[in-house]
Amino acid sequence: MSIAVKNISKRFDSHPALSDVSLDIQEGELIALLGPSGSGKTTLLRVIAGLEFPDAHDGRILFHGRDVSGLSAYQRKAGFVFQHYALFNHMNVFENIAFSFRVLKRSQRPSESVIQDRIDGLLRAVQLEGYEKRLPTQLSGGQRQRVAFARALANKPEVLLLDEPFGALDAKVRKDLRRWLREFHDSTQLTTIFVTHDQDEAFEVADRVVLIDKGGIQQTGTPAQVREHPANDFVADFLGL
Amino acid sequence: MPGSTTLHLKLHRPLRATGDRPAVRRFLIGSVLVFFILFLLLPLVVVFQEAFSKGLAAFVETFRDPYTQHSIVLTLVIALISVPLNTVLGIAAAWSVTRYRFRGRSLLITLLDLPLWVSPVIAGLLYVLVFGAQGWLGPWLREHEIRIIFAVPGMVLATLFVTFPFVARGLIPLMQAQGMKEEEAALTLGANGWQILWRITLPKIKWGLLYGVILCNARAMGEFGAVSVVSGHIRGKTNTMPLHIEILYNEYQFASAFAVASVLALLAIVTLILKTRAEWRAEQELRASRPSITP
């Protein structure tokens, strides 16, 4: 699904987090929002997700050409993965992933065997077969992150939004998960946006990189374009060119 | 030599970052212990000793008295009404001030504690002023034949006021520290407000909540001042256990007074044990919610 961000501004108290941001994302793209902490990249992701609402001017969010600005996070059919996983610690892995089915009205809820099949498939996709009965606290960080992925994917979202998905993991696990994300994206072509402050991560994984600083987009382009033609001092400086 | 001094300190004072001398430490710990034994532990022992001073038969006889029985029932009834109400109100208050940003939020957090810094007697008098025969609503209440002051409804109101802060105060720091990422995750997965409360928030805070409810209950059953003002001390009608103890004591029925008091004291001990356990579990709850930085 294509995503269009049009003239979005967002203030927290008196501090501007985003000022007049516009961005077009094509269907099936894998996009990195890259910038230092406090740049507004996470806020932009949360506005796209519907977890944060932009200041009421003429800002809009379009999914596939349709205005979703007034829709809730769930109605936008966007899967969201949080930086520290935000797993439900009192539920086992199976129930965490099944959550989006459990909260459906009975008339819309798939049968237990359909849910079981779906979750078996997801566990296979994230390489966690046999972990159904474990509690989140009994898993490593990398395993928790994969449960969070599976949970976000359970109800077949049309967009995947990831907030610093590998930020809390050690270098080795991080590399594996990066490769996994790239392969997963290549096989599903699910439109994906992820936030990171790590340029290696952005350049290695993303089709296009969006550089953000001080609540505004500084440059958008493929990793090669950005590296070869930094648009301004901030980009050159941030990338260490 | 500065280097060797540091080494010396490290070797011989591993546990003290404050730098207090041993004498100071012994004095402080000693005086706390003496205070604890003299003013907290001994009286508790005396309560039970006095309760049985006229033998087991007299102790049992106290609880055969219909007035005593009534005071126990009334205490339980008031707690059964006010504790659930304050649990719901406390959750709503904690939810509001930790989940929403609004004007007057910090003022509200301060005011939640109002019942703790107002003397309970004043709380009772406030209700007399509002609901009493000479009060603001007095004429209207009389017209409709509703009795609040010197009746059970007034005692419930006074108890509600005094015990209001406990649940909210227990939950606010816990909910603030836990954050609301899990709630946001549930939102993106399609849960509505009720589902988030029942399936995510309540399981997250259950031990902190229990801790607040236990304290709320202990105070509801033990409250004297506010309830005393609005009760009117009608035996067999508006006497709770604490009020009944005072009456028995004033009538020189010491053994009976202490017998009833021992039940309240026992309740306090059970509360303390439950509270400690809930507190410990609440800490685990908080720790589990913290993100770990392990691979």
pLDDT per residue over A29-80, tens digit each? 999 999 998 899 999 999 999 998 888 777 889 999 899 988 988 889 899 9
Residue A23 belongs to what H/E stretch?
Answer: strand A15-25
**Pick from B182, B203, B294: which is nearest to A141 by CB?**
B294
CB atoms within 10 A of CB A51: 21
**Residues A5 and A116 placed together within one structural domain of the fold:** no
* pLDDT at residue B93, as a whole number: 93
Q: What is the mean pLDDT of chain A?
A: 91
Highest mean pLDDT among A143-157, A161-175, B129-143, B279-293: A143-157
Contact yes or no for A49 and B188 at CB 8 A: yes
Q: How far is CA B75 from CA B83, B132, B232, B234, in A?
A: 12, 22, 15, 14
Q: How far is CA A35 from CA A11, A44, A73, A185, B115, in A?
A: 18, 12, 24, 22, 48
Best mutation target among B100, B101, B189, B294 (most A Cβ atoms within 10 Å) is B189
* pLDDT at residue B123, as a whole number: 87
Confidence of residue B40 (pLDDT cuts 50, 70, 90): confident
Contact yes or no for A88 and B186 at CB 8 A: yes
Contact yes or no for B185 and A73 at CB 8 A: no
- Is the domain covering B55-289 a CATH 1.10.3720.10 domain? yes
Over 60: is that where the pLDDT of B216 sits?
Answer: yes
Best mutation target among A89, A105, A161 (most B Cβ atoms within 10 Å) is A89
Q: Is there a contact between B67 and B244 (Cβ–Cβ < 8 Å)?
A: yes
Question: Do the bridges between strand A3-12 and strand A60-63 make them parallel or antiparallel, or are there none, so unpaired?
Answer: antiparallel
The fraction of chain B above a pLDDT of 90, given in percent, is 28
* pLDDT at residue A234, as a whole number: 92
Pairwise pLDDT comparison (B150 vs A113), residue with the higher score: A113
* pLDDT at residue A155, as a whole number: 86
CA torsion through residues A181, A235, A42, A143, sign: positive
Over 70: is that where the pLDDT of B206 sits?
Answer: yes
B 227-286: CB under 8 A from A: none
Contact yes or no for A169 and B200 at CB 8 A: no
**Residues A95 and A118 placed together within one structural domain of the fold:** yes
Chain A hits for B195, Cβ within 8 Å: 103
The fraction of chain B above a pLDDT of 70, given in percent, is 91
Who contacts B217 (Cβ-Cβ below 8 Å, separation ≥6)? Answer: B79, B83, B271
**Residues A51 and A33 placed together within one structural domain of the fold:** yes
Contact yes or no for B185 and A88 at CB 8 A: yes
* Residue A67 bridge partners (DSSP): A62
pLDDT mean over B263-268: 87
**Residues A21 and A6 placed together within one structural domain of the fold:** yes
Question: Do the bridges between strand A208-213 and strand A216-221 make them parallel or antiparallel, or are there none, so unpaired?
Answer: antiparallel
Confidence of residue B5 (pLDDT cuts 50, 70, 90): very low
* pLDDT at residue A33, as a whole number: 95
Among A140, A156, A172, residue at a domain's last position: A156
pLDDT mean over B165-194: 91
**Residues A193 and A228 placed together within one structural domain of the fold:** yes
Over 80: is that where the pLDDT of A82 sits?
Answer: yes
Over 70: is that where the pLDDT of B175 sits?
Answer: yes
Who contacts B200 (Cβ-Cβ below 8 Å, separation ≥6)? Answer: A88, B182, B183, B186, B191
For residue A41, what are the domain limits? Answer: 1-77+158-241
Over 70: is that where the pLDDT of B3 sits?
Answer: no
Over 50: is that where the pLDDT of B295 sits?
Answer: no
Over 90: is that where the pLDDT of A163 sits?
Answer: yes
Q: Is there a contact between B224 and B120 (Cβ–Cβ < 8 Å)?
A: yes
Domains contained in chain A, number:
2
* Residue A217 bridge partners (DSSP): A212
* pLDDT at residue B156, as a whole number: 92
Over 70: is that where the pLDDT of B47 sits?
Answer: yes
How far does B264 lie from chain A, in Å, by closest CA? 36
Orientation angle between helical segments B66-99 and B241-250, nearest 10 degrees: 140
**Residues A2 and A67 placed together within one structural domain of the fold:** yes
How far does A60 lie from chain B, in Å, by closest CA? 19
Chain A hits for B294, Cβ within 8 Å: 140-141
**Residues A124 and A112 placed together within one structural domain of the fold:** yes
**Residues A168 and A239 placed together within one structural domain of the fold:** yes
Among A156, A175, A208, residue at a domain's last position: A156
Who contacts B237 (Cβ-Cβ below 8 Å, separation ≥6)? Answer: B70
What is the predicted ipTM?
0.91
Q: What is the pLDDT of residues B61-71, one digit of tens each?
A: 888 888 988 99
Over 60: is that where the pLDDT of B1 sits?
Answer: no
Highest mean pLDDT among A28-42, B253-267, B277-291: A28-42
Confidence of residue B186 (pLDDT cuts 50, 70, 90): very high
**Residues A99 and A73 placed together within one structural domain of the fold:** no
pLDDT mean over B238-256: 89
* pLDDT at residue B4, as a whole number: 40
Among A104, A129, A156, residue at a domain's last position: A156
Q: Of the candidates A112, A2, A26, A20, which has an alpha carbon nearest to the alpha carbon of residue A60?
A: A20
Q: Is there a contact between A136 and A85 (Cβ–Cβ < 8 Å)?
A: yes
Contact yes or no for A88 and B195 at CB 8 A: no
- B288 interfaces chain A, CB cutoff of 8 Å: yes
Confidence of residue B290 (pLDDT cuts 50, 70, 90): low
Give the residue from chain A lying closest to B293, CA to CA.
Answer: A168
The fraction of chain A above a pLDDT of 70, given in percent, is 100
Contact yes or no for B189 and A151 at CB 8 A: yes
Chain B hits for A74, Cβ within 8 Å: 187-191
**Residues A92 and A194 placed together within one structural domain of the fold:** no
**Residues A14 and A38 placed together within one structural domain of the fold:** yes
**Residues A22 and A73 placed together within one structural domain of the fold:** yes
* pLDDT at residue B292, as a whole number: 47
Q: What is the CATH number of the domain that holds A203?
A: 3.40.50.300
pLDDT mean over A96-120: 93
CB atoms within 10 A of CB B115: 18
